[in-house]
Structure 1
Amino acid sequence: MTQIVVLPNAQLCPDGAVIEVEPGQTVCDALLANDIDIEHACEKSCACTTCHVIVREGFTSLAEADELEEDLLDKAWGLEPQSRLSCQAVVATTNLVVEIPRYTINMVSEGKK
């Protein structure tokens, strides 16, 4: 099992969390399975940026982002060099520390096209 430390997020996980996940699962699925209701407006199809996370530790253990994910990340609020879409970041055997940004951009709910 791989450990994911989720840093505190005022709305989704005020006290932070430590969860154990099976390698091969996405960060998004791991969070959702552990009652951390990260937004995922495109239903995890790599078509939005609402599940954006910042991987504070263990970033290099993740497979590289593909071109589509990189293009979408350019539109994410609070983009950092260690940013990933959690629906695309597959957990390996290295423990991770992730931060869920305070804000997200949801073009569907914000009425943008």
Structure 2
Amino acid sequence: MPVIKILPHHEYCPEGAEISASAGTSICEALLEHDIKIEHACDMSCACTTCHVIVRQGYETLNEAEEEEEDLLDRAWGLEPQSRLSCQAILAQQDVTIEIPKYTINHARENH
């Protein structure tokens, strides 16, 4: 079972964390299942960029990004070459390390 190492984020995961998730699970689903409440304004339908993460290690082990995801990522704050939408990044058998960017572009943030 792969491990996702989450680097510290001031709001979602101040101490950082390591969580296990089944292969075939999206990074977003895994985070939410472990009470790391990453934003996902479009309910994981690949229609926004609020679940943007930067994959610091293990990027090449994830499924390949489709064109729709790549087009959306162009609008993400803090875009880097290893950026992915966590709702579209599917885990394989290898561990990954992710960073949740400091900011997100969400004009309709709920529950805050």
Shared fold (TM-score, shorter chain, > 0.5): yes
Distance 1:107 1:59 in 2: 28
Distance 1:102 1:34 in 2: 20
Matched residue count: 109
The match for 1:20 is: 20
The match for 1:65 is: 65
RMSD (Å), alpha carbons? 0.7
The match for 1:8 is: 8
Q: Which runs of 5+ in 1 are unaligned?
A: none
The sequence identity of aligned pairs, in percent, is: 61
Task: Give per-residue Cα distances to partners, 1:5-43, cap 9 Å, x unaligned.
Answer: 000000000000000110000000000000100000000
Q: Does 1:92 align with 2:92?
A: yes
TM-score w.r.t. structure 1 length? 0.94
Distance 1:108 1:83 in 2: 22
Distance 2:20 2:44 in 1: 21
Distance 1:15 1:81 in 2: 25
TM-superposed CA distance for 1:107, in Å, is 3.7
Q: Which runs of 5+ in 2 are unaligned?
A: none
3-state SS of 2:54 partner: strand
Distance 1:106 1:67 in 2: 22
3-state SS of 1:19 partner: strand
3-state SS of 2:3 partner: strand
Q: Which runs of 4+ in 1 moved over 3 A?
A: none
